[in-house]
Copies of this chain bind each other. A is one copy, B any other.
Amino acid sequence: MTQSPWQPISPEKPARPVREPLSRERIVDTAMRMLVEQGYEAVSMRKVAQALGTGPASLYAHVANKQELDNLLVNRAAREMEFPEPDPDNWQEQLKASMREMLRVMRAYPGVARAAIGQIPLGEQAMLSTERFLAILKAGNLPDQAAAWAVDLIPLYVTAVAFEESVQRTWEWTEDDIEGFVSELRSYFNSLDPQRFPITIALAGALTSGGSGDERFEFGIQVITAGLASLARQQG
């Protein structure tokens, strides 16, 4: 009882607390914007709440926990992916194009990869992209089991690539930093003990090429596509 009993109750309303009410939609919108602008690390329950002008506890009325919010972000991103209509004569190129599309979206929302890795994507949009991949793989005449495991393998690879990139982006390297690092790396390889690392030294040039990641990714999807093609049933 530290308050004076005659204190006026509610001094002319406390600064209009009405505001637009919270909602799942508004929370995901805000989190997504922060993800794009400031990266995954910046998307904390506290900061999302602060951006919405409230406290962290308020979010929990609409979102179960951080993990669910991550899942919602993944699903929101998946909404933007576009896939071709399956064409049996062209399924390998379609598969590659779809993987490129997946990486494109994940690059556009850095941090979504981190949210996506290690979770089974069961949201509406994510399931739709699975369906699209399955359609392409079936057009390629893959056995059911191979197609099923492939739609596990493919997002795993693309997500891992995107995640790796996003981790390195966290370190905030400029183009020059990368160039410097690559040349340092090359001379590090060359300084190794030739007795123990003969091949690493011989391939120092090849090992340090393709730093941008695009070429490496192209290589990866080529390997996966060719590997899957080798499992396709002859004819149809």
User: What residues make up the interface of A, taking CB atoms closer than 8 Å to B?
Assistant: 117-120, 122, 127-128, 130-131, 134-135, 138, 144-153, 156-157, 159-161, 163-164, 166-168, 185, 188, 192, 196-200, 202-203, 206-207, 209-210, 215-216, 219-220, 222-228, 230-231
Contact A148/B230 with A122-B188, A131-B196, A224-B224 known, Cβ cut-off 8 Å: no
CA distance A26 to B119 in the complex (A): 35
Q: How far is the CB of A143 from chain B (nearest CB, A)?
A: 9
Query: Which residue of chain B is the closest to A143 with respect to CB atoms?
Result: B206
CA distance A152 to B148 in the complex (A): 25
Residue in B120, B131, B160, B219 whose beta carbon sits within 8 Å of that of A117 in the complex: B160
Main DSSP-derived SS at the A contact region:
helix
The closest CB in chain B to the CB of A135 belongs to B199
26 A-B residue contacts at CB 8 Å? A118-B163, A118-B168, A120-B185, A127-B197, A127-B200, A128-B196, A131-B197, A134-B199, A144-B203, A144-B206, A145-B206, A146-B219, A147-B203, A148-B203, A148-B209, A150-B219, A150-B223, A151-B207, A152-B216, A153-B216, A156-B157, A156-B160, A157-B157, A223-B227, A226-B230, A230-B230
Most buried by B among A145, A151, A215: A145
Q: Which residues of B contact A120 (CB under 8 A)?
A: 185
Least Cβ–Cβ distance between A29 and chain B, in angstroms: 25
Question: What CA separation (Å) do A152 and B220 show in the bound complex?
Answer: 9
The 8 closest A-B pairs by CB, nearest first: A118-B167, A227-B227, A223-B227, A148-B206, A160-B160, A226-B227, A134-B199, A226-B230
